[in-house]
Amino acid sequence: MQVHTLFTGVANTFIVENSRGVVVVDAGMPRQASRIVNAIRARGHAPQDVRLILITHGHIDHAGSAVALKKLTGAPIAIHRGDARLVETPSLKIPPGRSAATEALGALTRAFGWVMPLETFVPDVLLDDDQSLREFGFNARVAHTPGHTAGSISILCDDGALFVGDAILNLVHVAFPLFWEDAASARESARKIHALKPRVCYTAHGRAFDASELDAFIARQDARD
Query: Closest-CB residue for Zn ion?
Result: 59
Say whether residue 26 binds Zn ion (CB under 5 A). Answer: no
Least distance from C-beta 177 to Zn ion, angstroms? 7
- Among residues 42, 34, 40, which one has the least CA distance to residue 52? 40
Residue 93 or 192 having the CB closest to Zn ion: 93
Q: What is the footprint of Zn ion within residues 178-207 (CB under 5 A)?
A: 204
Say whether residue 11 binds Zn ion (CB under 5 A). Answer: yes
Residue 11 or 16 having the CB closest to Zn ion: 11
Say whether residue 61 binds Zn ion (CB under 5 A). Answer: yes
Say whether residue 78 binds Zn ion (CB under 5 A). Answer: no
- Among residues 48, 55, 30, 38, which one has the least CA distance to residue 4? 38
Residue 161 or 167 having the CB closest to Zn ion: 167
Say whether residue 66 binds Zn ion (CB under 5 A). Answer: no
The count of chain residues that interact with Zn ion, using the rule CB under 5 A, is 5
Q: Which of 166, 169, 178, 181 binds Zn ion (CB under 5 A)?
A: 166
Residue 92 or 214 having the CB closest to Zn ion: 92
Residue 7 or 114 having the CB closest to Zn ion: 7
Residue 87 or 204 having the CB closest to Zn ion: 204
Selected range binding Zn ion among 104-112, 137-145, 163-171, 206-214, rule: CB under 5 A: 163-171
Q: Which of 25, 36, 39, 59 binds Zn ion (CB under 5 A)?
A: 59
Pairing mode, if any, of strands 2-7 and 12-18? antiparallel
Interface residues with Zn ion (CB under 5 A) are 11, 59, 61, 166, 204
